[in-house]
Amino acid sequence: MNTRYDELKTKAIGWAFILGPLLLVIGALIFAFDIGRNPNDLDSYVEGMFGYYGFIFFIPIWVSLAGVVGRRYPRYGIVLTVHGMMSAAAANTPMAA
């Protein structure tokens, strides 16, 4: 039996699958078009903002994908969960800088 919470969680994960990659693509386009490029010419503060929030949306993406894989291969699902959390945290560090 699906509760209202289950329905909202499913919608939120669906939006994460759309918004996470979309924000990363927008950030890449911002960098390509030299919007907000810093004087060192290596990064853009505007691109970092979009990338930061894009990688936050990847946390529920990794967890939901690990749940799907973990039903069939439980150990691999755990590895995916840990990898997803570490990669999302590690990716946000340079984006925040």
How many independent structural domains does the chain possess?
1
> What confidence tens digit (pLDDT) does each residue in 37-84 have?
877 777 788 888 898 999 999 989 999 999 999 999 999 999 999 988
SS3 of residue 37 by DSSP: strand
> 3-state class of 44 per DSSP?
strand
Q: Which tokens hold the place of 97?
A: 């800088």
Q: Which residues constitute the domain of residue 77?
A: 4-96
Host H or E run for residue 16: helix 4-32
Given a cut of 90, whether residue 34 has pLDDT beyond it is no
Cβ neighbors of 25 (< 8 A, separation 6 or more) are none
Angle between helices 45-72 and 4-32 (to 10 degrees): 140
